[in-house]
Amino acid sequence: MDKGQLIGPLVLPHMLGVAIGFTFMLVLVGVGLMQVFDAFPLTYTVLKVLSVTYLLYLAAKIASNRKPPRGTDAGSKPMTFLQAAAFQWVNPKAWSMALTALGIYTPPSPTLLDIGIVAAVFGMTNLPAITIWVLMGQQLSQFLTTPRRLAAFNITAGLLLVATLYPILWP
């Protein structure tokens, strides 16, 4: 949301990189890594624990942040398309979402069609969702002008991030 607040339409390559990069990641995880996880279930468990731990840490950082958004300084450029697409592979939130989606929305031994359907749904909904996120960021910059509003927003965002862990922890 921070990028939309700061950069506006210049964030489009970043948005496309996230949407397409995540969809591509979802397909590759479904086709390849799910087989690894089936063969070595402990790897899935370790990745899940690491993802949940990171997301709890991130939620705490968000909830306790009292600094205003960075502004439009030189350090606030959006990622390029390729940077945003590649970032999905090191993004614990993307891993958590991909593993959870494949675990919830595909059968135990998914076919390529099963994986394709999940990827297509995510592919079709990602860009509209990211667009809404960016537009919200632009609008929020006008609202989060006081320390009290910023604190309330960050606490709410942190708690909502924790709430997203429900399907991971209790599938």
pLDDT at 5: 46
Mean pLDDT, rounded, of the chain? 85
For the chain, the domain total comes to 1
Under 8 Å between Cβ of 48 and 167? no
Please give the structure tokens belonging to residue 25: 């990641």
Please give the structure tokens belonging to residue 128: 């509209």
Residue-range definition of the domain harbouring residue 70:
2-169
Question: pTM here?
Answer: 0.72
Q: Is the pLDDT of residue 74 over 70?
A: no
